[in-house]
Amino acid sequence: MNASGVKIILVEPAGPLNVGSIARVMKNFALKQLVLVNPQCDYLGEEAMIMAVHAKDVLQAAVSVPTLPEALKGCKRAIATTARTRDNCPLQSPREVLPWLLEAYSQPAALIFGREDRGLSNEELNYAQKFMRIPTDSGYASLNLASAVAISCYELAQSQPLTIENNQLNSELAPIEVVEGYYEQLESLLLSIEYLYPHTAARRMEKFRQLYNRAQLQTTEVAMLRGILRQMQWALSQSGKL
């Protein structure tokens, strides 16, 4: 897989100038898949088109979807850009983490960018397996969205895929939406048996996500885990506890 197979996902972009500039830099580095989640601007308007220059085709081919899970549909790997630290999930630089997206068996993959003013929410960060921060000077750490995408596209183009010994085995990595279905089923069951409580469920489920992200579940493994949950639900219903 090369960089052209990576989706660039923008969550609720508000500036048409930014979106146009991003389309231009994507074309500079042969990236073609631009996905906008609930865009807050006219990304096909005059301002965006002027900034895109000769990358109008990237803008016109951009896909607009209402939610981040829909943008990630089919992806097996996702990196979120953030400055926010998370338990057991180190923030890595583009040079450290981007080769992970290019491993031959992981396509399609996604690189997620948040809003210009506040980035990605904790809930949105949960959909990524790894987290990236572009190192900047502490005196002025905030980067313009288009600049952040430009740096990332450059580093992505320079990246080399990590060496994998068993591509055939890893080619069965579960798509993100398949794993999300398992998380939903797991959370429902854990709430029903009061292992989780509504006011703490989100935080506790983050721990499960971190555990399974490290495991890099395959499609067959997710099916096995979901089968276990279904059997547990059936057994509980038979005993009258559900």
Tell me yes or no: is domain 172-238 CATH 1.10.8.590: yes
Assign residue 137 a region (left: φ > 0; alpha: ψ between -120 and 50; beta: otherwise): beta
Nearest C-alpha neighbor of 213 from the set 126, 85, 132, 102: 126
Decide if 32 contacts 3 (C-beta within 8 A): no
Decide if 16 contacts 41 (C-beta within 8 A): yes
More confident position, 220 or 1? 220
Q: Can you give the pLDDT at residue 171?
A: 56
Nearest C-alpha neighbor of 174 from the set 130, 222, 209, 215: 222
pLDDT interval class at 216 (50, 70, 90):
confident
Residue partners of 90: CB distance under 8 A and separation at least 6: 131
Q: Can you give the pLDDT at residue 174?
A: 86
Q: In what order do the strands lie in the sheet with 109-113?
A: 63-65, 33-37, 6-11, 109-113, 77-81, 130-132, 91-92
Torsion sign over Cα 165, 169, 175, 180? negative
Domain boundaries of the chain, sorted by first residue: 3-165, 172-238
Q: Could you tell me what percentage of the chain is helix, strand and coil, using 3-state DSSP and rounding each to the nearest 5?
A: 50, 15, 35
Q: Is the full-model pTM beyond 0.85? A: no
Cα gap 167→173, rounded to integer Å? 10
Q: Can you give the pLDDT at residue 67?
A: 96
Q: Tell me the CA distances in angstroms from 157 to 37, 48, 152, 162, one per residue in order.
A: 24, 24, 9, 14
Q: What is the mean pLDDT of the chain?
A: 88
Over residues 181-185, mean pLDDT: 91
Chain segment 229-239, per-residue pLDDT in tens = 999 888 888 87
Decide if 17 contacts 51 (C-beta within 8 A): yes
What is the fold of 3-165? Answer: Alpha/beta knot (3.40.1280)
